[in-house]
Structures are given as structure tokens and as C-alpha cells.
Amino acid sequence: MKKVPISFKAYSIFLTVCASALLFYLVSATPRLSWQHILLFGLLIWLAESFGIDLPKVGAVSVSFALLYAAILLLGPASAALAALSTAVVWRDIKERSSFYRWLANGSLAILDTGIAGLVYLYAHGPILMVKGLSYSDFPWILIPFTLCAAAYFLINSSLVSMGIGFLEDVSPVNIWLFDCKWAIPNYFALAPLGVILAQIYVKTGPAGIILLIAPLLIARQTFQVYMELRGAYMGTVKSLVVAVEAKDPYTRGHSERVAEYAEKIARQLHLPEEKIETLKYAALLHDVGKIGITRKILSKTGKLTHAEYRKVKEHPEIGVAIIREIEFLKEVVPAIFHHHERVDGSGYVDGTKGEMIPLMARILAVADSYDAMISARPYRPALDQETVIEELTTYSGSQWDKILVNALMIGLGLNANPREGEKRKGQMSLVGYI
């Protein structure tokens, strides 16, 4: 089990206090709770949540919103919040033995988002459908409480979940919201009408009617599943290309993964959006894929490369682009791979592009790639010690690498710069060769 950060523990306790106060208020303001409906919806919501789909970063999405929404419209905020409480410990939590604080946070979140959305619905004059079913005369005005309720649920749920994940993973909640939650908005608005239909059928036919609606819910789940599997297949393609390069060049084993790790550290310091970070990681994993087209003899040569051999090595960014150009989902990483050996002073290869004309991802890769090259042993030299690495980075920041990005990496890695060392060899070429 992963260690739970103290900030997340505090957040869970804070949510629990708020949720308990809200639940107390809701229950005491409700004259009679209908437990058989609460238990039935609790069970259905638990099943839907338990078999949700994992999201790319962290967390999961499920079709349980349709059921939760139906519970709010049918039973009102107090009963809906009690039914939603079943999601505190879902199947995946049992399987993964999630921490107690996660249970607390999940349970409290369920009460807060369902309870507040339910209150919004009541204050917007939404009727409790178990008491008074829908009729044609309710339209179109009924759409106002329906919409406000769904919007309140989405805003509260997505914000509180993003904050929780932010504390858990130590990443910006805004990035999480944009990457994981933003694209779920259409899903919420597609599931809300389903929730209304579900509620109305429940009023007319009782629990049996819900079974009729299981099919569309399963199809919605399947759509998510396919989308997530596709993402998994993309990563699989990238990983097999990485394996192919590393089989060819054993000295760079693990290099691509480490470059991806350092590139991510730089990107996080720059607060790049999650989508960009994801693309950058693909680019980092594949930056040297073109080495597939270079002979093993050259790649593992321990002595100095001849001019002709070095010329061949310098072709690897172009070969890499030729390999991945036709793969649709990798289109965005092409410029980063093509330019990852450019230098900001224009003396790099492939085409000597300068400064900010070099794509940002390529500049990030250049720093991450060189850093890993320096700290790893190569066939032609041993690994450099930390002091030399810092000296190299400081000296050639601004000529070989983008200054801001070097700083970002040093901050990300907790390295301390020694500016005096950097001054000594300004204007000379770097001691270290990177291919």
C-alpha cells in the first residue's frame, strides 16, 4: 500500500467534518427516510462504482452518476446522500486495500457532492419525484433544477476529487481537473437525462424498470473501456519501440525511461498542462528510436568515432522521425524527436535551429537526455560525478541548453548550482559528447 501523505490525511479529515455536518443537517431536516429505496440505490450505485473504468492519471469514472442523479430526483438530498455513502468502500478499494483515509475521503465526497447537488435541486424548486412524478406540464421549467443539480454535482465532485488527487500525488489540482475531469463534462450531461428517465421509470414500475436501463448503462461503460484500452495500446506500441532500440544499443538500457522521468521533472517545474506532459513522455521514450537504423558496431564502439561514423549517428533523429511519422497518435512528438540534438546557440544538429525556434519539447529533451548521458557510463567514458555534472550544466546553460530548462531540472532534482565554476570555461565546447 502506498504511503498516504499527511496533506491528504488532513484533507480527508476536513472533508469528513464537513460531510458529517451536512449529513446531520439533511437527515434532521427530513421527516421520514425510506430505507428500502436508500438500500436499493445504495447497492446499485455501489455496483456501478465498483466496476468503473480507471482514468489515465489516477481515479476512475463510472456510470454511477445516472443512478446518483436519479436518487437525488426521486428521494431528495438526505436519502440520496445516504445511498451514495455506499461508495466509501467500493470493490476496487477492497481489492487494492486502499487506505482508511481514502475511504474517509470517498465517503465524505459522496455525501458532499450528492447532498449539496440535492439542496441546489430543492432550492431551484425541483420536485421530489417519489412524492410527485413528472408530468408534461412541468416542462420546460423543470429543466432549470435538473441542469443546476447536475452542474452543481459535477463542479463539487470534480473540484474536490482533483484536490484530493493533487494532495495524494503532489501534482497541481488544476492540471488534474483539466486532464482528468474536463473531458468528463459531456459524459455528465449525457448521463443526466438517463438519470431522469431512470427516476421516472422507477416511479412508474418500481425496481424492475431499472433492469431495462442496465443495457444502455453497460454500453456507456463499454465506450469508456474501449477508450482506456486504446490508451493502453498506445503505450504498448511506444514501449515495444523502446525495447527495439534498447535491444540494439544495450548501453542505453533504461535511458529512455530515465529521460522521460527527467523531462517530466522539468515540465512540472514549468507547470505545463498534463496533456503536454503526456506527449512529452512519449517523445522522451522515443527520442532515440532512430538508433534502430544505426549499426550495433557504431553504437557500441568504445573508441573515438570516425567522421563517417559520427555523421551516421547524427542521422538518428531523422531516422526516428521516419519510423514514427506514420503512427497517427505520435504525430505531435515528431518535432521534438527531430530537434532533440539542436543547441540553443544553433551549433547542434539536425539543421542548426536556434534558441526559441527549437520546439520547447525538443529543448526539454535535450537537457534531460544530456543529463542522463552524463550520469551514466557510456562505452567511451565512465559516468561523471555529480560536481562535474553540475559544472557542465552550468557552463553550457545558455549555449548548449536553454537556461530556464537547465534551472528547472536542477530545481526539480534538488541540485545546487555553482555559478563560479560555470564562468571558468564559458565559450569552450562541452567536454562530454552526447549522441
Q: Which is nearer to Fe ion, 288 or 402 (CB)?
A: 288
Q: How far is the CB of 394 from Fe ion (least distance, A)?
A: 21
For Fe ion, which is the closer residue by CB, 236 or 254? Answer: 254
Find the shortest distance in angstroms from Cβ 340 to Fe ion.
Answer: 6
Q: Shortest gap between Cβ of 51 and Fe ion (angstroms)?
A: 41
Instruction: Tell me whether residue 166 or residue 290 sits nearer to Fe ion (CB atom).
Output: 290
Of the two residues 37 and 287, which places its CB atom closer to Fe ion in the complex? 287
CB of 346 to Fe ion, least distance (A): 18
CB of 425 to Fe ion, least distance (A): 24
Nearer to Fe ion among residue 277 and residue 365 (C-beta): 365
Shortest approach of Fe ion to residue 191 CB, angstroms? 45
Dihedral pair phi/psi, residue 401, rounded to 5°: -120, 160
CB-wise, 278 or 369, nearer to Fe ion? 369
**Measured from the CB atom, is 25 or 251 closer to Fe ion?**
251
Half-sphere exposure of 350 (CA within 13 A, CB side): 17
Nearer to Fe ion, 202 or 338 (CB): 338
* CA–CA gap between residue 31 and residue 226 (Å, rounded): 45
Q: Classify 206 in phi/psi space as left (phi over 0), alpha (psi -120 to 50) or beta.
A: left
If you ran DSSP here, which 8-state letter would residue 410 be given? H
Please, what is the minimum distance in Å from the beta carbon of residue 303 to Fe ion?
20
Kind plus residue range of the DSSP H or E element containing 54: strand 53-54
Min dist CB 271 to Fe ion, Å, is 25
DSSP string, 110-158: HHHHHHHHHHHHHHTT---TTTS---GGGTTTTHHHHHHHHHHHHHHHH
Q: Return all residues near 200 (Cβ < 8 A) that are at least 6 apart.
A: 129, 133, 134
Least Å from the CB of residue 417 to Fe ion: 23
CB of 288 to Fe ion, least distance (A): 4
Q: Which is nearer to Fe ion, 348 or 412 (CB)?
A: 348
| Paired residues of 61 in beta bridges | 53
Residues that bind Fe ion (CB under 5 A): 288, 369
- Judged by beta carbon, residue 274 or residue 369, the one nearer Fe ion is 369
